[in-house]
Structure 1
């Protein structure tokens, strides 16, 4: 079982990081906006607490929480969102494509469901190489109808690949309710491929950690993949563009009701008040440092726009379309 205070630290870091990022979007420091992870922090915290440092994750367009929970530097992550040269990916990845291979993060991915295939391939490759790594892929309820996810489930089961499929079911694919888009059940998709699956409380980091730990042990010992459907609720906008567009796919009353069980307060109640206050102060100081770092960091030189396109260092020719 993960330490309660450490789980609280991760949940708190993600919450305050996202709130700081939203503020920087509003101030024009982060271009293009972000997909806030507020309300879903317990899933990233609980799953990543069950992993080793050398285990691997792949993420989604709503991926900041996963990247932070896996151990990437919040300072450089915030710089990445702001498109700065000092970011994790020199400002090239931004919010939806942040990666940090040094901490086992094989990238967020803006293509819905696509990271499941990357995770399955990575899991298979590392197992073929004799490593006992476990790979986790996060995806939303909207991805369960994507063919690439179903193909990944099929191959993971066929190969008995050590993959955890983590479905963050917040009830909406952007603005479409899950019951309006998904026939059958999410667990039924796993069952069709012979993959063990269960639905858990995605608002409680310790519940998530317990379920993920069991799945990780099974995968690492050669037992194959598992799917966890984590029931959660997105407290904020699908994307910060909603602050201007104000789509009406859910009412304020519904949001208030869905936000009653707050992962931050659930985990915080398990931590002594003085410990919690100390963690809060540490995170505030860290994010103050991160913002100063971002504002002092240069934007990438446009002359280097074609750099880093290829893994072998080959540079694309100017003028290529």
Structure 2
């Protein structure tokens, strides 16, 4: 990590802002060094150092005060690697398991990419382009779906469902990709506040539980559902028992149950009744999510138009594409 940060700093403009950023970044990462006398008080140190680092990040005009996609990617990478290093320290001298090695490698890649892209964008905003190819990691920053949707287009659920797969084994990725696309454009319509960002992050985290394959899925769901419910309550004005809230919870549970049932079918073809249930459940989930966000957004003074999703949010949508046993619509 020290070599990476030193090499990266060498590519940057020699300015006070970049010098301060790397000083704060190195100081933050030093907190995870198990040989450091400060490591015993790591939480208190991290609180102070993370605030200093964030101020250093915010000094760059190209990062929009630390709230850009690149800034959040860097923060995510720091937290991911920090968590991994803390867990490694707790293991003491024990051998690292295969799963731990895999997770640590992924965290390191995420960390280096997050820092690399942030620095690249910050440097280019200062008129100094940086080539990151020498680090051997794909640093091509993919534009956020939010910005793409704001600029170029929309997402229609009926149109998406026309490509509903024939077999059970292909449904999980199809459903998850569709849900992520739906949430991306829905988030793009919302106020860009911390509460909405947190809500969508918790929804996505909750939905990943259904494809994790974890033996402790019930424990994971309990923890993640509690976090999601708290995020919902903040948007709901503290009224966690509204109709919109319970409708959304029902939609989430229905989708989770469906994904579990379809997975049990293995590679079998989806029957007509199963395809009908799949479509109905995805519509139920999307409608519940849309209505909850619409009401929450309007409480913040921003009206949302959900018509682009192609779903009737007032009455049950009965014209979705659905093929019968003989292929008829």
TM-score for both structures, normalised by structure 1? 0.27
Which structure features the higher share of strand residues?
Answer: 1
Q: Of the two, which has the highest radius of gyration?
A: 2
Which structure features the higher share of helix residues?
Answer: 2
TM-score for both structures, normalised by structure 2? 0.26
Considering Cα pairs closer than 8 Å and 6+ residues apart, tell me whether 1 or 2 has the greater RCO.
1
